[in-house]
Amino acid sequence: MLGKLREEDFLALRKPLESKRQSPKSLGGIFILSIFIQSFWLFIEHFVSDYSIYPNIDLIIKVHLSFSVGLAIVTIVYAVPWIYMRSQRMQYFLSILVSQNLFGISLFMLAIIAISADISNNAYLLQRYTIIALCIGVFVFIITCIRFYFLLKRGRYRKGTKKDVQRNKLESTSLLSIVIPMGIGITFLIQYLVRNFDLLGLDTIIMTTMFIVIFYVMLFVLPEQLVILYCKFRFDSFNFDKNGRLNPVRDEKGNRIPEEKLEAYFRHRTTDRLE
């Protein structure tokens, strides 16, 4: 589906690259910092799991530990400038795994482990709660993907159009399509916890709900991360040169289009196409 879209349909997604927030150098520094944060989450998981009655919790912890350690080793390699400048696409793919593991998978696991350790000793209810929470997450991801695709198709991520200028306002409205099902899902999860688990663990319920909300937020941003990765493979303008400068956007003849003229260029081309 994305193959039918042009480079201009994705150009607004270059903003975090233009600002250097997601440059190879920045990602390399984030990789090092993420190792310390992930180590802290793993320590908490191990400590709390000693009080958990969740089925096969030891195996789950070991699998997550193995995955996190393996990911940390690879990210250390891709924090080296000589390597990441020659393999930017792989580095960005790793950044997706790191962010989703750090604030998605880890926090979801901590939420489930905390519930099983503090407010419930019913394995069946815990497994059922996990399945419901994951199903809601899958629903949020699918709805977000559909929404993001139609935003791209309608030109919301182009430069040089009125929609690009108004994108922030329009997206705030379109967010209702995600916020509503996410809110309904979270409300259902809270009701499920209150009805089936010990109300004395209300503080744990609040904390775990917050962790699961962050897990859903990470699923919400995942489609955009994947599309940027797709753009890195398809368009040279989403990658950096050996000196750390973002590659320029080029016209059909291969000539560089100055950043300050991008909006005018694509506005003119869009107008010509409509005519």
Summarised one tens digit per residue, pLDDT across range 83-113 is 999 999 999 999 999 999 999 999 999 988 8
Whether the predicted pLDDT of 122 surpasses 70: yes
Percent over 90 (pLDDT), the chain? 39
Which pLDDT does position 252 carry in this prediction? 63
pTM (predicted TM-score): 0.82
DSSP assignment of the chain equals -GGGS-GGGGGGGGHHHHTTTTSHHHHHHHHHHHHHHHHHHHHHHHHHHTT---TTHHHHHHHHHHHHHHHHHHHHHTTSHHHHTT-HHHHHHHHHHHHHIIIIIHHHHHHHHHHHHHT---HHHHHHHHHHHHHHHHHHHHHHHHHHHHHHHTTTT-SSSHHHHTHHHHHHHHTHHHHHHHHHHHHHHHHHHHHHS-GGGHHHHHHHHHHHHHHHHHHHHHHHHHHHHHHHHH-GGGSB-TTSPBPPEE-TTSPEEPGGGHHHHHHHHHHHHH-
- Listed residue (158, 125, 114) closest to 267, CA to CA: 158
User: Containing domain of residue 42, as a range?
Assistant: 2-274
pLDDT digits (tens, 9 = 90+) for 246-265: 888 876 656 676 665 566 55
Digit-coded pLDDT (tens) for 12-61 = 888 888 888 889 999 999 999 999 999 999 998 988 888 888 888 899 99
Q: Which residue has the higher pLDDT, 71 or 210?
A: 71
Q: Which of the two residues, 275 and 35, has the higher pLDDT score? A: 35
For the chain, how many structural domains are there in total? Answer: 1
The predicted pLDDT at position 129 comes to 85
For the chain, give the mean pLDDT. Answer: 80
Residue 170 pLDDT grade (very low, low, confident, very high; cuts 50, 70, 90): very low
- For residues 139 and 133, give the distance between their C-alpha atoms in angstroms, rounded to a whole number: 10
pLDDT band for 171, please (50, 70, 90 cuts): very low
